[in-house]
C-alpha cells in the first residue's frame, strides 16, 4: 500500500471514530440525565419542610484544653455505630501527648488497651506539657479518599459529610492508604471500608453525633457552618483554629483550638 492510500484510509478513520465517539457520548448523556417527573427513586422534591442538603455544611470543633481523656466518646461511638469492640477498629480515638523538658515527645493512644508494656509512666517533674487529642475522620473538603476510590463508593454529600456506600465498596483498600489521618479501617464483617460518618443518621434528625452528645466537658462541638446561630461558628470566631496536616491541602472540617505543634 503506498502513502497516498494510507493517508486516504486514515482520513476515513477520523469520521468513523468521530461517529463512534458521538454515539458513545449520546448514549452516556441519555443515561446520565436524571429521570423526568420523579420516577424510579430519584431525589424527592424539596417541600416546605423537607431537608435541603445545600443549606447545611457540617463540621466539628475540638477544644484540646477541655478534653479530659475519659474515652466516653470512643465508647459511645462504638455503641451507636455498631463498631467491633476490638482495639484496632476506631471511628474516633484519643491520643495522649507528653512533651518532656528534654524535648522528647511520647505519644500513646489511650483508647487502645494493649498488653504491651506502656511507655515509661510520666514523671510529673520531667513533663513540660501534656494533653489529650481526640481524633476522627476530618470530613475534608478535598478528601483524598474520595479522589482515589476506584468505584466511587465513598463520596461527599452536599452538606459536607463524607459517606461510604458499603454496597458498592469492593474492598480494594486504596482509600485507607490515601487517608493521611488513619481514620479509615476495613470492617472484617463486611470486608468493606468504614469510618466516622458524623453520625449522619442522628444529625439529619436534629440530634448530635454520639461522641458530641456524651462528652462531659463539651470538648467536642458540632455545628453547621452555614447556620446563622451555630456553636461551631462561635467557636471559630473565638479561637485560633488549627487543622491536622494542612500542607496536604485536604481542608479538614474538624477544627482544633489550642492544638499543639507536636500533634500529627
Partner 1 sequence: MSEVLHELLEQITGFIYPNEVEIHWSLLIVVYPYITGLVAGAFILASLVKVFNVKDLQPTYRLALLTALAFLLVAPLPLLLHLGRPELFYEILLTPNVTSAMAMFGFVYAWYLMGVLLLEVWFEYRRDLIVMAGRERGLMRWIHRALSLFSTDTSEAALAFDRKAIRAITIIGIPSAFLLHGYVGFIFGSVKANPWWSSVLMPIVFLMSAIVSGIALVIFLYMMLAAIRKEPVDMRCLDTITSYLFYAVIVDFSLEALDFIHRLYESEESVKILGKLITHKLFMSLFVLQILIGMFIPLGILVVAKWRRLNEDGRKLLYFTAVILIQLGIFSTRWNVVIGGQLFSKSFRGLMAYKLEVMGIEGFLSAMALLALPFVILAVLIRVLPTKRLADEASGAAPS
Partner 2 sequence: MRMPEQVKRLAVVIAVIIAGALITRFYVIPRSLTSNELHRSSTVQRELAKPVKFAGSEICQGCHETEGIKKNKSFHRNVSCEACHGPAVKHAEDPTAVKPPAPRDRKFCPVCHAYDASRPTGFPQINPSVHNPLKPCIACHNPHDPVPPQTPKACSACHAQIERTKSVSSHALLVCTTCHTVSEQHKRAPRTALPSKPQTREFCAKCHGKDSPQKEPPKIDVTTHGTPYLCWQCHHPHLPEGRG
Q: What are the residues binding partner 2 (CB under 8 A)?
A: 1, 5, 8-9, 20, 23-24, 27-28, 30-32, 34, 40-43, 65-72, 76, 79-81, 96-98, 101-102, 122, 124-127, 130-132, 152, 155, 157, 163-168, 197, 200-202, 204-205, 207-208, 210, 213-218
Q: Which helix (H) or strand (E) holds 136?
A: strand 127-136
Question: Considering the rule CB under 8 A, would residue 3 count as an interface residue with partner 1?
Answer: no
Q: Which does 71 bind (CB under 5 to 8 A by kind): partner 1, partner 2, none?
A: partner 2
Strand-strand pairing, 92-100 and 127-136: antiparallel
Q: Nearer to partner 2 by C-beta: 110 or 225?
A: 110
| Dihedral, CA of residue 80, residue 116, residue 187 and residue 223, to nearest 10 | 40
Q: Nearer to partner 2 by C-beta: 85 or 247?
A: 85
Residue choice 115, 121, 125, 228 for contact with partner 1 (CB under 8 A)? 115
Q: Which helix (H) or strand (E) holds 53?
A: none
CB of 100 to partner 1, least distance (A): 14
Give the phi and the psi of residue 81 in degrees, each rounded to 5.
-105, 10
Residue choice 140, 161, 183, 208 for contact with partner 1 (CB under 8 A)? 183
Give the separation between CA 96 and CA 126, rounded to whole angstroms: 16
Here the cell at position 67 is 478534653
Strand-strand pairing, 127-136 and 192-194: unpaired
Q: Which of residues 218-247 bind partner 1 (CB under 8 A)?
A: none
CB of 151 to partner 1, least distance (A): 4
Q: Nearer to partner 2 by C-beta: 69 or 180?
A: 69
Question: Considering the rule CB under 8 A, would residue 13 count as an interface residue with partner 1?
Answer: no
Give the length of the chain: 264
Give the separation between CA 187 and CA 177, rounded to whole angstroms: 15
Amino acid at each position: 500500500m503506498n502513502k497516498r492510500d494510507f493517508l486516504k484510509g486514515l482520513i476515513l478513520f477520523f469520521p468513523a471514530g468521530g461517529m463512534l465517539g458521538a454515539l458513545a457520548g449520546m448514549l452516556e448523556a441519555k443515561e446520565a440525565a436524571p429521570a423526568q417527573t420523579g420516577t424510579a427513586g430519584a431525589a424527592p422534591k424539596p417541600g416546605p419542610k423537607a431537608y435541603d442538603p445545600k443549606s447545611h455544611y457540617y463540621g466539628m470543633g475540638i477544644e484540646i484544653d477541655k478534653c479530659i481523656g475519659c474515652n466516653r466518646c470512643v465508647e459511645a461511638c462504638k455503641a451507636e455505630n455498631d463498631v467491633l469492640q476490638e482495639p484496632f477498629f476506631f471511628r474516633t480515638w484519643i491520643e495522649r501527648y507528653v512533651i518532656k523538658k528534654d524535648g522528647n515527645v511520647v505519644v500513646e493512644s489511650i483508647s487502645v488497651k494493649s498488653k504491651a508494656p506502656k511507655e515509661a509512666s510520666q514523671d510529673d517533674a520531667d513533663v513540660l506539657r501534656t494533653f489529650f487529642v481526640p481524633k476522627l475522620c476530618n470530613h475534608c473538603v478535598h478528601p483524598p479518599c474520595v479522589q482515589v476510590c476506584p468505584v466511587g463508593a465513598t463520596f461527599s454529600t452536599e452538606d459536607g459529610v463524607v459517606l461510604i456506600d458499603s454496597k458498592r465498596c469492593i474492598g480494594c483498600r486504596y482509600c485507607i492508604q490515601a487517608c493521611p489521618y488513619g481514620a479509615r479501617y476495613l470492617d472484617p464483617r463486611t470486608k468493606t471500608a468504614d469510618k466516622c460518618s458524623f453520625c449522619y443518621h442522628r444529625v439529619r434528625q436534629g440530634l448530635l453525633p454520639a461522641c458530641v452528645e456524651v462528652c462531659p466537658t463539651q470538648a467536642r462541638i458540632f455545628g453547621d457552618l452555614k447556620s446563622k446561630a451555630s456553636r461551631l461558628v462561635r467557636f471559630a470566631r473565638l479561637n485560633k483554629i488549627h487543622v491536622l496536616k494542612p500542607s496536604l491541602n485536604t481542608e479538614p472540617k474538624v477544627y482544633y483550638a489550642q492544638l499543639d505543634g507536636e500533634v500529627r
